[in-house]
Structure 1
Amino acid sequence: MATPHRDTELRRTFPAFPPRSAASEDSSFAETWWGNAWVDALEQGALDVKRLARGRGYADQGHVDAITVTPGLVLAYVRGSRPRPYRVQVRLRTLEDEDWERFLDTAADRPGHIAALLDKELPESLADCGVPLLPGPRDLAPQCSCPDSGHPCKHAAALCYQMARLLDADPFVLLLLRGRGEKELLDTLSRRSAARAARAAQERSPRSLPGVRAAEALAPRQLAPLPSPLPVPPHPEQPPVYSAAPGGPDPFALDQLATDAAARAHALLATGRDPVGALTLWQDAVRLAAARPGSGLTATTRALYSTLATAVGRTQADLARAVAAWRQGGLAGLAVLEEPWDPPAGRFDRARPLLLGADLPAFRPWRNRLTHPHGHVQLRLGRDGLWYAYESEPDHDDWWPRGTPDLDPVGALTGLGTPDDL
């Protein structure tokens, strides 16, 4: 009987397959193209289809015990109608050395062949390399200890059918049967593949070029000065006028993009810094809207505001207020609008006496803000040390940036009205 513990590189023993389900008995016995080629060789070389049918039934019912495969020989015990199982063997000619050389050269020539073998697959292009890997109709030579002299008997047919299932799972079983073990083949293929890759790399490498002595290459030398950069233009140019076309891009959007790109390029040339690189999506949307000239919301400007507000998930009113803050103080002005903070003692504490000295009422402090007692004017101290003025309707918390920032809180209120109005 089979003894798996005695397996070597050239001797492998496989446990018996379980019986097949009734649903699978009506389908083809093998699942791979090479397993079906083995079955074809068995069935085309058989002399009695009835023995084949009974042998397939034995295989389906799990009558084939463990299978041992060695070069040129498959051996197993098959249980038949008698209590004692029959000893069955199937012989197949091993390949000659020149056949193996052709097979190994073909396999090593394409990395995909080796990868397929490692995945337990047998590429058809590898099997068609001129080497008879798969048996033909008269290549299988069965022999059984039963008294039946059929070719093959049902016991030998059962073993051959089960061999197809072995080949489905591992094509290296076929290569072992033809004379070479899996480890030996993979080692040889690895060496040949590496040698081929090295030769190919050597053929692709450029021929040696004339060298330069290190002392000459590292010798100090005087390089010619770089040419002076061209002067920066005083301002970015205006983009061309884009005409509308059916299905084409929006001319207004193109104008906005071109104008913005020109302004950024001019800033990079003049300062070496990108004024937009560190902005958030919201800050950049405010910057783009603020760059649109004019103070009124025209139809074109409303379309721009609607597009930008939708893109950042804000309302058009939010964007309009932020644009006013940006035009008042740029990025610092936007921060004053959106970010209350607690200023340290000093400039903020001195602001209230200065306002009182200018005949203004006592402003109410809260964080960095000073609010007129009537609730219609407010001063906000920015982190840049400037005071920003805001206005609102009395008794409404609806503050909008007004005027020009100033280091002096009284100066920041200039233009908002007379002291009596304040």
Structure 2
Amino acid sequence: MTQRDGTRHSGGITAGDGERERTFAALPPSRGRAFARTWWGTRWLKALEDTALDGEQLRRGRGFARQGAVGAVTVRPGRVTAVVRDRDGTAHRADVLLQELTETDWRRLLEVTARESGHLAALLDGEMPPRLVEDAQSVGVELLPGIGDLDPECGCEAWDHCPHTAALSYQLARLLDEDPFVLLLLRGRTQRELLDELGARSTAGAASAAGTASAHDPAGSRGGSMTGGKPQGVPAEEAFALGAILPPLPAPPPPVETPGGAPSLEGVGTPPATGVDAGALEFLVSDTASRAQQLLRDALSPSHAYSAPPVPLTQFQDAVRLAAAGPDQRIVERLSANCGIPPVSFRAAVRAWELGGLVGLTVWEESWTPEAEAMARARDQLATAWAEEDAPPPQLHVNRARWNTPDGCAQLRYGPDGRWWPYAMEHGTWWPAGGAEADPAAALAVALRQNEPGRGERS
């Protein structure tokens, strides 16, 4: 349920994901936002702040990073490098070193990753699942750095973290937010190497399963034997495991660039039966073609084998999804009427889907009780953001996963995806005010802006 909102940083990479060195273009100056918006980015910065002995050097490093003084960042196994400039323009090469995992550590990490298909699917979608880190720790592998793990080296010849290595570390937290494979490269594996090794383990596991099945079936009831006069065939897992000695599989179907259009049903041939809406039927045919194209694209993607099947939509969720596709207003009204909720609430639900798909609608529909640690982290993020703006943070009223401003005009909702969704009150109804944000301060700014005069008026 990850929202693909197009916010991931991808520009400036000069080497592919299969190379053992990646270079990211210099990031622009950043003001009024936290360096780390994800829990794993926050853990990276905690390792830095727990390691450094001089808080003043960290403060100056944050200033350098915010001012755009960090040049292109190069990441390779065990080391991240950039040129950082002082206020007077003097350039210093700064390096931060992180120990690579041993071959034994990688074997254990690959084993726990292969056991849970959701781990790799999350990584490919730009997320670092907490369960992966916990499973790695359970076999003695520390994936994220801890105190003393980030070693500095700088041309200014400081013996501890200086402003230059601190600035580089803060900037790297922003890159880690967008792509957790950066951390895995630092630990010693490229994305391509990781995928190849996991694929090899999957094949080996299938072959082992096929061998075990053969041992339990000495009579040979598979492989074309006859049972009741009918050939049995070969189990799929055995065929894939023994692919090297079987005829090659046919090539996968090519991707479909554009879904097929619906036939014209109105005014053609026999009139429709009473109660059949030809226009609505045309819309459903077009929607079915679009969904079939999406399913084929997903099936042909490299991550398909590691992805869990999607959870079926409820009738209400599917009605909202259809309405968000932009059919005629009369079709939207029929969908709304069949849901049994007020039209204004249905329009708000459609807006939630438009901004965040199923995750956005789930946040609109449900309220739940998050973990205390996530809420404490959000309070710290708000306090940090307002401290940098020289203003006290707003005193929000907390009701489980929903935080309201005192005037009742703006609201933050914490979603099951670990992100914050801005809402604004309009004519007695909570309306989604924007897409999800990892930083609650950024989401709150969107919600407050929606209530500015002249904005957000809906009937």
TM-score by length of 1: 0.46
TM-score by length of 2: 0.42
**Which fold has the larger relative contact order, with Cα–Cα distance below 8 Å and residues 6 or more apart in sequence?**
2
